[in-house]
Amino acid sequence: MFEHLDDPSPPEPTAHDVAAVFARSAALTRRRATSTFAVAGLGILILGVVIGLVVPRSPSAMRVTDLALHAGVLATGLPVPTTDVVGAVFPDDQHGFALTVGSGKAALVATSDGGDTWQVVQGDLPVDSEAQLDFTSLAHGYLWGGSPSNSGALPLWVTDDGGQSWAEAPIGPVVSDVSAIGLDVWAVAGTCPLSSTTGASSCPVDLEVSADGGVTWSLSAAAPPLFESSQPSYSDQDVELARMTLAHAYVLTFDPAGENPGLERLVYTADGGQSWTVLPDPCAASYAYSEIAGSGTDDLWLICATPPSAGAQAKALYRSYDGGMTWALTSTTGNSPLPATGGLPAAGYVAPASLGHYNLAVTSAAQAWLFPDRGSVYETTDGGHTWRMVQGLVAAGFSGIGTNGNVVFADATHGWVDEPGVGIWRTTNATSWQQLGT
C-alpha cells in the first residue's frame, strides 16, 4: 500500500552504522544502569529503611522507550529522566520547565534543582510535542505552536500557576512566536487560519501585546510590515520574535516553502510597536534568514543559511553594531560564494530548519554559543570571528547525536545544553560542564 513511499535505493548498513549502534546502545545501558542503581536502588533502600511504609512510594522514572510507547496521560509527580526532556527553559538557575512526550502527547515537566531531576507537572497539555515553551517565572508560562487545530488555529496557552492549568489567550488565530519580559508579553500572530487548500501565500501579521501575563491583550499601535504563509506545518515557525527590552524588538519572517522570497524580512521597533523600520538583508545569494539574537538593542547577531541537506548547512554570521542598519560578515562555513573564515560549523541545522529558536545563545557582545540540530556545540569569545567546539561538553559525555537540541543561558555563566534523547548538561561558569541526572 505504501510501497510508493519507499527509498528506491535504500542504503545497506555499513561498519559505521554497526559501530554507531553499539555506541548508542552502550550509552543507553550506562544511563539505565545509573538510573536503576543510583536512583531506584539507593532511593528504595533509603526510603525503605528510613521512611518505610509511612510515605507512599514514588513511581519509578519511565525510560525513554517506555515514554515513546506510552499511550496515556503521564501522572503528576512522575519522575522523568533527563534523556526525555525537550525544550528546557530556565527562569532562574535552579528552576526549569520542559516538555516530554509520550505517544505524541506532550507533558510539562519541571525541575527545582537546576535540572538534575524532573517531575511531571501536567500530563495533559493542550498541545502536541512540537510546541514551543517559555516561562518567565515559577508561575507564568506560555505554550504555542505545534499541530494546528481542525479549524487551522494555533493558539497561545497561558498559565499563572506553574503549568498546572492552562487557558487559551484570546488572540490569533495563528500564534507564531512569543516573547515575555516579566508580565509584559508580546505575541506575533498570523491573521489567517492555516489551510492546506485555501491557505494564503502571504498573510498579514499582527503584534499582540499584554501587560498582565497574557490575560488581556491589545493590538500594537502599528502592525509590523510582515506577511507569513498560512500553509499548514507541524510547528509554525514562520516568524521569530527577538525582544531586547520592553520597547525594542526585532521580528524576522521566513519563507517556509521557498516559493515567496518576499516573505523574508527583518523589521525593528524601538517604541513598543508604534512604528516599524524594515532593515537591510545582508544574506548572500542562496542564503536566507535563519536566526537572530543580540546582547543589546544595537548589538545583533544574524545567521544566514542555505537549505539543509544531509546533515549539513552552509552558514554565515553577520554582526551589526547599529541595530541592523549595517551588517558585517564575521564568520562562515566556507561555502560558495562566501570566503572561508572563522570556522563556523557546516554540520547541523539552525532555525527555522530545526525546531524552536534556541540554536544561538548570545551572552555578551563577545561571547555566544551555537548548537545546530544534530551538530556539536560551538563557542566564540571574540564576537563571532572564530568558533571552536566546546571541549568541556565532550569531556562531560556530550555526543552531538541528538536532534532539536537547545542551548540556553539564564545569564552569562549559567547555561544548559539540552540534547533530546541523550541528556542535559549544565555550566555554572561558562567553562566546565556537568551532565545532569547521572
Partner 1 sequence: MIGSETVRFEDSFTELYRLAYRVSFRILGDRADSEDVAQETLARTHTHWSRLADRPEGWVVRVSTNLAIDRYRRRGRRSTPSRDLSLVDNHLAERMDLARAIGRLPRRQREVVVLRYLADWSEADVADALDCSPGTVKVHAYRGLAKLRAVLVDRGGLEGDDVRASG
Among 110, 302, 303, 355, which residue interacts with partner 1 (rule: CB under 8 A)? 355
Answer yes or no: are the C-beta atoms of 352 and 237 closer than 8 Å.
Answer: yes
**Residue 240's closest CA among 326, 360, 341, 64?**
360
Give backbone dihedrals phi and psi of 349, rounded to 5 degrees, phi first: -110, 145
Contacts of 7 (CB under 8 A, 6+ apart): none
Among 93, 128, 168, 264, which residue interacts with partner 1 (rule: CB under 8 A)? 128
- Smallest gap from Cβ 352 to partner 1, in A, equals 5
DSSP code of 262? Answer: G
All three cell numbers of 314: 552552509
DSSP-based three-state secondary structure for 326: coil
Report d(CA 280, CA 293) in Å as an integer.
16
- Smallest gap from Cβ 436 to partner 1, in A, equals 20
Query: How many CB atoms sit inside 10 A of residue 192's CB?
Result: 19
> 21 vs 75, which CB is nearer to partner 1?
21
Determine, following the binding rule CB under 8 A, whether residue 335 of this chain makes contact with partner 1.
no
> 10 vs 52, which CB is nearer to partner 1?
10
Determine, following the binding rule CB under 8 A, whether residue 421 of this chain makes contact with partner 1.
yes
Determine, following the binding rule CB under 8 A, whether residue 359 of this chain makes contact with partner 1.
no
In 160-258 the beta strands, taken as DSSP E runs, fall at 167-168, 174-181, 184-190, 203-210, 218-219, 227-228, 239-243, 249-253
> 3 vs 56, which CB is nearer to partner 1?
3
- Smallest gap from Cβ 145 to partner 1, in A, equals 8
- Smallest gap from Cβ 236 to partner 1, in A, equals 8
Total residues at interface with partner 1 (CB under 8 A): 62
- Smallest gap from Cβ 291 to partner 1, in A, equals 13
Among 4, 53, 54, 150, which residue interacts with partner 1 (rule: CB under 8 A)? 4
DSSP-based three-state secondary structure for 340: coil
β-strand pairing of 249-253 with 265-269: antiparallel
Site for partner 1 in 79-98 (CB under 8 A): 86
Determine, following the binding rule CB under 8 A, whether residue 10 of this chain makes contact with partner 1.
yes
Instruction: Give the per-residue contact string, 138-157, with partner 1 (x = CB under 8 A; - = no).
Output: ---------x----------
Among 41, 48, 182, 258, which residue interacts with partner 1 (rule: CB under 8 A)? 258
> 98 vs 209, which CB is nearer to partner 1?
98
Full DSSP string of 9-72: SPPPP-HHHHHHHHHHHHHHHHHHHIIIIIIIIHHHHHIIIIITTSSPPPPPPPPHHHHHH--S
Report d(CA 291, CA 304) in Å as an integer.
7
Determine, following the binding rule CB under 8 A, whether residue 311 of this chain makes contact with partner 1.
yes
> 259 vs 322, which CB is nearer to partner 1?
259
Determine, following the binding rule CB under 8 A, whether residue 133 of this chain makes contact with partner 1.
no
DSSP code of 282? Answer: -
Determine, following the binding rule CB under 8 A, whether residue 65 of this chain makes contact with partner 1.
yes
Determine, following the binding rule CB under 8 A, whether residue 35 of this chain makes contact with partner 1.
no
Counting Cα atoms < 13 Å in the Cβ hemisphere of 166 gives 21
Determine, following the binding rule CB under 8 A, whether residue 235 of this chain makes contact with partner 1.
yes
| Residue corresponding to grid cell 548570545 | 362
DSSP-based three-state secondary structure for 5: helix
Among 79, 163, 323, 420, which residue interacts with partner 1 (rule: CB under 8 A)? 420
Among 190, 352, 383, 392, which residue interacts with partner 1 (rule: CB under 8 A)? 352
Residues that bind partner 1 (CB under 8 A): 1-7, 10-13, 17-18, 20-25, 27-29, 32, 65, 68-69, 71, 86, 101, 103-104, 128-130, 147, 196, 233-235, 237, 254, 256-259, 307-311, 349, 352-355, 373-374, 401, 403-404, 420-421
